Structure 1
Amino acid sequence: MRDLPPLHALPAFEAAARLGSFLAAAEALHLTPSAISHRIRLLETHLGQPLFERRHRTVRLTAAGRRYLAVVRDSLFRLDEASALLRAPRRERLRLSVAPAIGSQWLVGHIATYQEQHPDLEFVIGSATSLGPLLAGEADIGVRYGEEEWPGLLAWKLFEEHIFPVCRPALAEQLKTPADLDRQRLLRHPLLSWSRWFAAAGLKRDEPAHGPLYEDARLMLEGAVAGHGVALMAASLAAPYLAAGRLARPFAADCPDRSFYIVAPPAIQERPAAMAFIRWLVQGARTEF
């Protein structure tokens, strides 16, 4: 620890920044306004620059204060999480990082079922599409869509996917052959290849160079429902929309694509409860798909 700030001043700083006044921060922390002011002055002296612009009854963060607040909030949150774990050592916490679409349409129901059987396991669920949370140690287990190789991580295949176009039912009736898509707006996703589907449908087409690019497959499905265009979609994600009649398949052709995987750092093998959950998910996916 090279040069830590006065640690007791950090909650005062965060509260004042969040609430916009020293008086409100004092009430929230059960301190006097002068104590809040004194702690923040200590912090500013340590840092060598002001963190707030003082006004009559309010305060406003300086540019340096805004940058510092992001770090302080993250640090206080991590301390709170670590303290909660120590206060309740019997409850194991499992942090999941899930691709949004598969998380909302498939995983959350399975987590609810597993939670009923294992009430002492606490789930923290976040959404992401990159591997960043796993590689940075911010998540224990991820569910991602991709190929077989996951550098630096262990992987368990859940199920393989097939992809095909979907669109509003009225538009689907107008599309007679895959070549008709040349006159349509095609919705794009970084992990779903139109050129691969075109080849399976007997057409020679490159990836579309234009058209809305969605990073979230669930948003792309809603875009297709809204008439934004024709979406290329994985079968498991499109299924609820097709069953409800919100979307339709204009063509029967589909093609195999990537797969959904559970991915995790190698250290997960040292956590029996986490490994039991992974095995349960994999077995459930094999039964369903």
Structure 2
Amino acid sequence: MAVRPPSLRAIAAFEAAARHESFTKAADELNLTQSAISHAIRSLELRLGVDLFDRYGRTVTLTEAGRAFVSRLRLSLNLISEAFEAPARPGRTRLVVAATAGVAERILAIRLPAFLARSPDREIELRTVTSAAEVTAGEVDVALLYGAGACAGLTQRRLAGEALFPVAAPTLDLPRRPEDLVRAPLIHQPEHPWRLWLEQVGLAELPTPATLTADSPLAALELARGGAGVCLTRGLLADEDLRTGRLVRLFDAQAILREEYTAVWNPASPRADIIRPFVDWLASVLEPAPAPVLHAA
């Protein structure tokens, strides 16, 4: 005998209350009374046999069961939403891939055409995110993150490590030795301060006066490509520029970083069978090859 599904109103009430962690805000969003929200959620709790929220007066917080249920629910709601969007071409399956801006622009964008060429039954939608929150919410299938740390309730797989080294445009008057950097125009940026590299190569006391400061690794690379100075970069971010000669690596010395690139996805995702082959492919192409070093004359 088929089990009758819960009402859509109860599902909407729970999802809104879980997102806001507030019955009042959920009621305002759905144009319902707070009592209606509370009644709808209580009906779900009775049906599931668990408490979805801890209630402290007017304050509510999701229980462990509530967090697990909303994670599964959002995956289902995402599939429903996709049914109303433009469908993928016949015989193809869409995979929603997310990454932070630098990873999306400098790592994934140049590699995804190769994946599509070898997987003609896939379509990729690439989104920019800042964390794994969109994976948890069921809005994306898999995220590629750098230095993400632990992501509760999600599957994580290491894809590649990373190293930091100096690069510059080949048109710059390049230093011959690391010690000569004291006379070079240096580009600073807070994510990769020069001390990280200098300490690991034994030059912690070398002064590094700032010629330019950029607020992101991508901006620092853009300045270096324009000939503004020498910047530190993660190998994978500069991989394409090094391969095409827009940038050159200055020295063999590099700093090994503790942070890693990881793929993050929901193990309960109904797309797990297409996520895993994609992650396997990422792992096979992301470990950077050593960049050739230019020894300035």
Per the TM superposition, whether the score is higher than 0.5 is: yes
Aligned position for 1:40: none
> In the alignment, is residue 94 of structure 1 matched against residue 85 of structure 2?
no
CA RMSD in angstroms, aligned pairs only: 3.9
User: d(CA) in 1 for partners of 2:261 and 2:195?
Assistant: 20
Aligned position for 1:115: 116
User: d(CA) in 2 for partners of 1:268 and 1:208?
Assistant: 48
SS in 1 for 2:162: strand
User: d(CA) in 2 for partners of 1:170 and 1:287?
Assistant: 25
User: d(CA) in 2 for partners of 1:202 and 1:118?
Assistant: 46
Aligned position for 1:196: 196
Note closer, same or farther for the CA distance 1:209–1:92 as it changes in structure 2 (3 Å cut).
Answer: farther
AA in 2 matched with 1:234 = R
User: d(CA) in 1 for partners of 2:261 and 2:123?
Assistant: 23
* 1:1-289 equivalences in 2 (<5 Å): 1=9, 2=27, 4=30, 81-84=82-85, 91-146=92-147, 149-174=150-175, 176-178=177-179, 180-181=181-182, 184-190=185-191, 192-204=192-204, 211-215=212-216, 217-257=217-257, 258-268=259-269, 271-285=272-286
User: d(CA) in 1 for partners of 2:189 and 2:242?
Assistant: 19
Q: Identity of aligned pairs, percent?
A: 25
Whether the 8 Å CA contact 1:142–1:263 is kept in 2: the answer is yes
Whether the 8 Å CA contact 1:196–1:255 is kept in 2: the answer is yes
AA in 2 matched with 1:202 = G
Report the Cα offset of residue 167 of structure 1: 1.8
Note closer, same or farther for the CA distance 1:208–1:147 as it changes in structure 2 (3 Å cut).
Answer: farther
Report the Cα offset of residue 266 of structure 1: 3.1
User: d(CA) in 2 for partners of 1:279 and 1:244?
Assistant: 27
SS in 1 for 2:260: strand
Whether the 8 Å CA contact 1:172–1:250 is kept in 2: the answer is no
Report the Cα offset of residue 120 of structure 1: 3.6
AA in 2 matched with 1:124 = E
Structure 1: state its 5+ residue gaps: 6-76
AA in 2 matched with 1:273 = I
Report the Cα offset of residue 267 of structure 1: 2.6
User: d(CA) in 2 for partners of 1:251 and 1:81?
Assistant: 49
Whether the 8 Å CA contact 1:145–1:259 is kept in 2: the answer is yes
Whether the 8 Å CA contact 2:186–2:229 is kept in 1: the answer is yes
Report the Cα offset of residue 262 of structure 1: 1.3
AA in 2 matched with 1:246 = R
User: d(CA) in 1 for partners of 2:115 and 2:153?
Assistant: 28
Report the Cα offset of residue 199 of structure 1: 0.9
Report the Cα offset of residue 221 of structure 1: 1.3
Report the Cα offset of residue 254 of structure 1: 0.7
Give the TM-score of the pair, scaled to structure 1: 0.59
Structure 2: state its 5+ residue gaps: 1-8, 10-26, 32-77, 291-297
Aligned position for 2:12: none
Report the Cα offset of residue 231 of structure 1: 1.5
Whether the 8 Å CA contact 1:175–1:181 is kept in 2: the answer is no
Deviations 1:5-34 (A, max 9, x none): 7xxxxxxxxxxxxxxxxxxxxxxxxxxxxx
AA in 1 matched with 2:236 = S
AA in 1 matched with 2:226 = A
Report the Cα offset of residue 206 of structure 1: 10
Deviations 1:63-82 (A, max 9, x none): xxxxxxxxxxxxxx998644
Whether the 8 Å CA contact 2:161–2:287 is kept in 1: the answer is no
Give the TM-score of the pair, scaled to structure 2: 0.58
AA in 2 matched with 1:212 = T
Report the Cα offset of residue 189 of structure 1: 4.7
SS in 2 for 1:214: coil
